[in-house]
């Protein structure tokens, strides 16, 4: 089970759905139609998204297969707990990305086009560990976002939206 993406391929032994099932069982939780549908949606594309954009992709309130707002939020939380998605806060709301079977990485955030660009740096991880150990701090995780302007936006001076100030 190999995937191509911007940071290379990773082999995983279980599909996200299988892993999720396992998680649910281990917690006495249940697999349901809405969860299945959301999991599919979330894994249909490899990109960053937030609750709102996920909801927009779903059938409208009147249509069949519609899923309530609260259910979406509850499912996202479960996916994060299950290790399927990684969550971080950006400009006030939660942003999600694939975690399961995908390598750890950090982000460059273009405040002009609001694109998130992923990067990996082994040196960074080592540095963080050494900083932490100087403070006798046990690292649980980290969050790093470098904000600025991406190459495309610098060149085209394009501003699809007014830039955001704080990240």
Residue 110, strand partner residues = 148
Give the residue from 42, 124, 116, 119 showing the smallest Cα distance to 78.
42
Q: Is 158 in the site for DNA (CB under 7 A)?
A: no
What span, in angstroms and rounded, lies between the C-alpha atoms of 85 and 79? 6
Residue 11, strand partner residues = 2
The interface region with its own copies, picked from 13-21, 34-42, 52-60, 113-121 by CB under 8 A, is 113-121
Provide φ and ψ at 22, rounded to 5°: -60, -45
Closest CB 147 distance from DNA, rounded Å: 17
Considering only residues 1, 7, 10, 139, which one is a binding residue for its own copies as defined by CB under 8 A? 139
User: What is the token pair recorded at 43?
Assistant: 């894994």
Residue 49, strand partner residues = 96
- 142 is in the binding site of which of its own copies, DNA, none (Cβ under 5 to 8 A by kind)? its own copies
Q: Is 7 in the site for its own copies (CB under 8 A)?
A: no
Q: Give SS3 for 159.
A: coil
The interface region with DNA, picked from 61-69, 101-109, 130-138, 144-152 by CB under 7 A, is 61-69
14 vs 137 by CB, closer to its own copies? 137
If one counts every other C-beta atom within 10 angstroms of the C-beta of residue 108, the result is 16
Q: Is 86 in the site for DNA (CB under 7 A)?
A: no
Instruction: Please work out, in degrees rounded to the nearest 5, the angle formed at the alpha carbon of residue 31 by the alpha carbons of 28 and 35.
Output: 125
The interface region with its own copies, picked from 15-23, 26-34, 57-65, 103-111 by CB under 8 A, is 103-111
Using the 8-state DSSP alphabet, how is residue 28 labeled? T
- Inter-helix orientation angle 33-43/69-81, to 10°: 70
The interface region with its own copies, picked from 7-15, 39-47, 62-70, 132-140 by CB under 8 A, is 132-140
Q: Which residues bind its own copies (CB under 8 A)?
A: 80, 87-89, 92, 108, 110-111, 117, 119, 121, 123-124, 127-128, 131-132, 134-151, 154, 166-167
Q: Which residues bind DNA (CB under 7 A)?
A: 24, 28-35, 50-52, 61, 66-71, 73-75, 77, 92-94
């Amino acid at each position: 089970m190999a995937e191509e993406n911007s940071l290379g391929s990773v082999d995983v032994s279980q599909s996200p759905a299988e892993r999720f099932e396992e998680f649910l069982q281990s917690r006495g939780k249940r697999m349901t139609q809405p969860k299945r549908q959301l999991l599919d949606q979330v894994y249909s594309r490899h990109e960053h998204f937030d609750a709102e954009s996920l909801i927009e992709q779903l059938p409208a309130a009147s249509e069949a297969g519609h899923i309530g707002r609260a259910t979406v939020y509850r499912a996202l939380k479960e996916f994060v707990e299950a290790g399927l998605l990684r969550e971080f806060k950006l400009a006030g709301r939660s942003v999600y990305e694939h975690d399961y079977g995908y390598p750890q990485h950090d982000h460059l955030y273009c405040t002009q086009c609001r694109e998130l660009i992923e990067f990996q740096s082994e040196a960074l991880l080592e540095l963080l560990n050494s900083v932490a150990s100087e403070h006798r701090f046990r690292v649980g995780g980290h969050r790093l976002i470098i904000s600025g302007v991406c190459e495309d936006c610098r060149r085209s001076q394009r501003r699809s939206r007014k830039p955001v100030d704080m990240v």
